[in-house]
Amino acid sequence: MGTVKKANMLNWNAIDSERIVWTLREVMPDCILTVVRELYPNPPGQLYMGHEWI
């Protein structure tokens, strides 16, 4: 299957019979991170790890 044809097929939603429009979005806006970190702070002695998960 050619790359263009394959790319077109991957953008097709067979269930709804419509094209899927891919958009680029932020994973999580900074304002949400601030709110969540204020609501759920780290336990005492545990530093903030940023976006690095183990």
Domain total of the chain? 1
Beta strands in 1-54 (DSSP E): 12-13, 18-19
pLDDT at 1 over 60: no
Residue 33: inside a domain: yes
Range of the domain at 11: 3-39
For the chain, what is the total number of helices (H) and then of strands (E)? 2, 2
Beta-bridged to residue 18, according to DSSP, are 13
Residue 44: inside a domain: no
pLDDT at 14 over 60: no
Residue 22: inside a domain: yes
pLDDT at 5 over 60: yes
Please tell me the pTM assigned to this model. Answer: 0.33
Q: Encode pLDDT of 36-52 as tens digits.
A: 888 988 888 888 777 66
Measured CA to CA, the distance from residue 53 to residue 10 in angstroms comes to 30
Binned at pLDDT 50, 70 and 90, residue 2 comes out as: low
